[in-house]
Chains A and B, each alone.
Chain A
Amino acid sequence: MNAVKLKKGASRKSAYDLKNFSGDTIETHTLAVLVDNEAGVLARVIGLFSGRGYNIESLTVAEVDHEGSRSRITVVTTGTPSVIEQIKAQLDRMVPVYEVHDLTVEGPSVERELALFKVVGKGDKRLEAIRTADIFRANVVDTTLESFVFELTGTPEKIDAFADLMRPLGLDEVARTGVAAIARGL
């Protein structure tokens, strides 16, 4: 059951400890939302975002507790502080939602994303690609004489950096999972 264990955060009381509404700076927040894995629950969450005009930068979802039939949705969103607070409150009042955690404000957290890169090339470019992959600790999961598929895990920034380096070396396709995140410590 460790997968669903989240530190008790401030989300239930989030309206009490709001930050001052200082300006309109756009912030990026990573939210972990624990939900009943019932039919349509993802559509419900996505519908909330689209219906109220909130942003989704990244979204991952999977059942994390098969016995209890609970899923964990990790959503990276952007908005002004008041919009972020509103998103959390709107999520929190949905019937299938158990908990909403703002990992960005609830203390240090780990964020990881997995990506697959198909790089096509010959000669020096091919050599440079595998050398760079080694530096990034990417795994080669498929190869032909003219292509590699690299598997890379890391923060979204690391994935972005790798993609930038691979582009001139024959980057053909990228598949990214979106961010999974969890709080550090107990």
Chain B
Amino acid sequence: MSRQMNGAQIVLKALKDQGVDTVFGYPGGAVLPIYDEIFQQNDIKHILVRHEQGATHAAEGYARSTGKPGVVLVTSGPGATNAVTGLTDALMDSIPLIVLTGQVPSFMIGSDAFQEADTVGITRPCTKHNWLVKDTDKLAETIHEAFHVATSGRPGPVLIDIPKDIQFANGNYVAPAKADVGHYQPKVKGDKDAITALAELIENAERPVFYTGGGVINSGKGASQLLRELVKETNFPITSTLMGLGSYPASGDNWLGMLGMHGTYEANLAMHGCDLMINIGARFDDRITGRIDAFSPKSKKAHIDIDPSSINKVIHVDVPIIGDVGHVLEDLLKIWKSRGRKTKAAEVKKWHAQIDEWRGKKCLSYKNSDKIIKPQYALERLEALSKGMDRYITTEVGQHQMWAAQYLGFEDPNRWMTSGGLGTMGYGLPASVGVQVAHPDSLVVNVAGEASILMNIQEMGTASQYRLPIKQFILNNERLGMVRQWQELLHGERYSNSWSEALPDFVKLAEAFGAKGILCSDPADLDDAIMEMLNHEGPVIFDCLVEKHENCFPMIPSGKAHNEMLMGEAETQGAIDSGGAVMV
């Protein structure tokens, strides 16, 4: 049954029918008709951000913490271009976003009109797909197709550009069930023969390792459950990428910690020395592989991924399985069990003993101080004091992000929101806004650096407006810590522009935004200060003054292999050669 209504009404109706409860946005001339409809209804809550980039990251936080797509509404021109970073971030990390942009009226497109930009042209490479709607009758169907595309297969951001005359004009509304969402139907079931081949490899492996990624989390909570069952049944060790933390619990017996450039010694050596690597929903990112020609040289590799273009893109694999992680793990368990649940238990036990030996190196130990707060210590205390709470963590990008991944434990999926692929400084604060909107009663902490947080600090205004009790936990070293670390290792300790000069007084800044500010610089006061933050009912900026020159270890220097890790300061001399220096 189709109904006549105007374009703006169609937008609201379509969002409502898609189950949307929250939209992050910022008004402007080209979306005024839609904002007028928002004003006249109560089903969809609109969160007014302070910058369009903030809207996209907030929607990412919302999406990542709920498993539902995040929705963004911004105006034409600068509204759309400001959303580009968030779109690219969501594309790299496979986060489903639906971004609605206003556009100048269709009869003015191409005339360099006020606030006109070629939005679909600009966002073509940073969306999974995008549409310019030229006919109000097509609007509802396009929105439904957009939700389908964003959430099917490998999730990602989509954008719908809606000229203002289309918003005013009348057209037919089509309900989601009646809409033709196109032919895009990625396959979710893995090939049975390939899955059987993997089951056979599992039966014969002596030094296996699971290498899991964000795909497990994107596949839904069921996939994490199946992964846990698979790990328990096989007793294989498991590591995860930055994006996959939480799919297997950090407290689990088989957990090796995160792998990669700043991963644990045991995880990286297990990857290097394994005879069977089972990649589940990860993509052999360069932060993971290190030097490609020396990556896990003696292993058979299986790769489960829903995106066929991820297979053999970087690392050649022996058993590719194209499908959704949840579906494939279900079939894998079924097939492996029906073949008698076999593993080489004795050899795997020996492998665990070897791994325990590596674990004994305690690669995350650091030299603590009773004078200065070490960033690692701050995170250990945050972890200890917030453990067991209903907790969500977001981060900015840099050293603090890696320390958060190393020292905080994640027991469940969807609890950890970070910018992995794009590495977007300024992601964490708005992401924490989005997470808190989705989970108003939970504890949401953004582990931040003082430089990153300033990139989207304006979103504190959003937090104040909606009384979102987000906690900004700043590890303040007055440096762009990761840049500084690389300059120390690569550029002869010439610290070009990597210090944070003229920093604001974060306590006063918090107060200026109507939030609470807490300053802590003495390790002895840290616990009380963290408790004060956790117990405060409103938003908090916690300015934790930490050691200024701490480096993030362990570290695989660029251009090196997994077994060439740096464990601490003593090993950094000449660690990166000229070949590695050109890499990022």
* Chain A residues close to B by CB (< 8 Å): 13-16, 18, 21, 36, 39-40, 43-44, 47, 51, 82, 85-86, 89-90, 92-96, 98
Q: Are A93 and B312 in contact (CB under 8 A)?
A: no
When C-beta atoms are compared, the residue in chain B nearest to A18 turns out to be B312
Residues of B within 8 A of A (CB): 120-121, 124-125, 128-129, 132, 134, 149, 153-154, 182-184, 186, 191, 194, 307-309, 311-313, 316, 320, 322
A93 touches B308 (CB 8 A): yes
A-B contact pairs, 23 of them (CB 8 A): A13-B191, A14-B308, A15-B311, A15-B312, A15-B322, A16-B191, A16-B320, A21-B316, A40-B120, A40-B124, A51-B125, A82-B312, A82-B316, A86-B309, A89-B309, A89-B311, A93-B153, A93-B186, A93-B308, A94-B129, A95-B129, A95-B184, A98-B183
Roughly how many angstroms separate A158 CA and B320 CA in the complex, as a whole number?
Answer: 41
Least distance between A65 CB and chain B CB atoms (Å): 13
In the bound complex, CA of A16 to CA of B320 (Å):
7
The minimal Cβ–Cβ distance linking A89 to chain B, given in whole angstroms, is 4
Ranked nearest first, the 3 interchain pairs of A and B with the lowest CB-CB distance are A89-B309, A95-B129, A15-B311
Question: What are the residues of chain B within 8 A of A16 when measuring CB–CB?
Answer: 191, 194, 320, 322
Let me know if A95 and B149 touch, CB within 8 A: yes
Q: Give the chain A neighbours of B120 by CB distance below 8 A.
A: 39-40
Given the interface pairs A15-B322, A93-B186, the reply to whether A85 lies near B312 with Cβ below 8 Å is yes
Closest to B306 in A: A93
Quote the shortest CB–CB distance from A167 to chain B (angstroms).
Answer: 40
Chain A: which residue is nearest B316 at the CB level?
A21
A24 to chain B, nearest CB (A): 13
Chain A residues with Cβ below 8 Å from B311 are 15, 89
- Cβ contact within 8 Å between B308 and A44: no
Cβ-defined contact, A43 with B121, below 8 A: yes
A47 touches B320 (CB 8 A): no
Q: Beyond the given A16-B322, A86-B309, A95-B149, could you list 20 further A-B residue pairs with CB under 8 A, ordered by the A residue number?
A: A15-B308, A15-B320, A18-B312, A36-B182, A39-B120, A40-B120, A47-B125, A82-B316, A85-B312, A89-B311, A89-B313, A90-B309, A92-B308, A92-B309, A93-B186, A93-B307, A93-B308, A93-B309, A95-B128, A95-B184
Residue of A nearest to B120 (CB): A40
- Taking CB atoms, residues of chain B closer than 8 Å to A90 are 309
Find out whether the CB atom of B132 lies under 8 angstroms from the CB atom of A43.
Answer: no
- The number of residue pairs between A and B whose CB atoms lie closer than 8 Å in the complex comes to 55
Interchain nearest-CB distance for B199 vs A (Å): 17
Residue of A nearest to B186 (CB): A93
Contact B182 A95, beta carbon cutoff 8 Å: yes
A93, B313: Cα distance in complex, Å? 14
* Set of chain B residues within 8 Å of A89, measured between Cβ atoms: 308-309, 311, 313
Using Cβ atoms and an 8 Å threshold, which residues of chain A touch B307?
93
Which residues on A sit within 8 Å (CB–CB) of B191? 13, 16
CB contacts (< 8 Å) of A94 on chain B: these are 129
Find chain B residues with CB under 8 A from A86 CB: 309, 312-313
Q: What residues of chain B lie closer than 8 Å to A15, measured between beta carbons?
A: 308, 311-312, 320, 322
Kindly list chain A residues whose C-beta atoms are within 8 Å of the C-beta of B322.
Answer: 15-16
Bound-state CA distance A13–B321 (Å) is 10
* Interfacial chain A residues near B129, Cβ < 8 Å: 94-96
Inside 8 A of A92's CB, which chain B residues have their CB? 308-309
> How far is A93 from B184 in the complex, measured between Cα atoms in Å?
9
Measured in the bound complex, the distance between the Cα atoms of B320 and A85 in whole Å is 14
Q: Which residue of B lies closest to A51 (CB)?
A: B125
**B183 nearest CB neighbor, chain A only:** A98
Quote the shortest CB–CB distance from A182 to chain B (angstroms).
22
Cα separation A46 to B82 with both chains bound (whole Å): 25
A96 CA / B182 CA spacing, docked (Å): 9
In whole angstroms, how far apart are the Cα atoms of A163 and B385 in the complex?
A: 78
Chain A contacts for B320, CB-based, 8 A? 15-16
In whole angstroms, what is the CA distance A86 to B283 when docked?
14
Whether the pair A43, B312 counts as a contact (CB closer than 8 A) is no
CA of A30 to CA of B390, assembled, Å: 55
CA gap between A112 and B121 in the complex, in Å: 32
Residues of A within 8 A of B308 (CB): 14-15, 89, 92-93
* Beta-carbon contact of B124 and A47 below 8 Å: yes
If A21-B316, A93-B309 touch, does A43 touch B183 (CB 8 Å cutoff)? no
Q: Which residues of A contact B132 (CB under 8 A)?
A: 39-40
With the chains together, A51 CA to B308 CA distance in Å?
Answer: 19
A51 to B184, CA, bound (A): 23
Distance in angstroms from B122 CB to nearest chain A CB is: 11
CA distance A90 to B309 in the complex (A): 6
Which chain B residues border A14 with CB–CB below 8 Å?
308
Residue of A nearest to B187 (CB): A12
Closest A-chain residue to B322, C-beta based? A15
A91 (CB) vs chain B CBs: closest residue: B309
B285: min CB distance to chain A, Å: 16
Q: How far is the CA of A96 from the CA of B121 in the complex (A)?
A: 16
CB neighbours of A21 from chain B (8 A): 312, 316
Expressed in whole angstroms, the Cα–Cα distance for A98 and B185 within the complex equals 10
Taking CB as reference atom, which chain A residue is nearest B193?
Answer: A16
Residues of chain B contacted by A40 (CB below 8 angstroms): 120-121, 124, 132
Cα-based distance from A96 to B124 in the complex (angstroms): 13
CB closest chain-A residue, reference B145: A95
Q: How far is the CB of A32 from chain B (nearest CB, A)?
A: 17
For A36, list chain B residues within 8 Å (CB). 182
Q: How far is the CA of A85 from the CA of B309 in the complex (A)?
A: 8
Chain B residues with CB below 8 A from A98, complex form: 183
B149 closest partner in A (C-beta): A95
Q: Which residue of B lies closest to A11 (CB)?
A: B308
B148 to chain A, nearest CB (A): 10
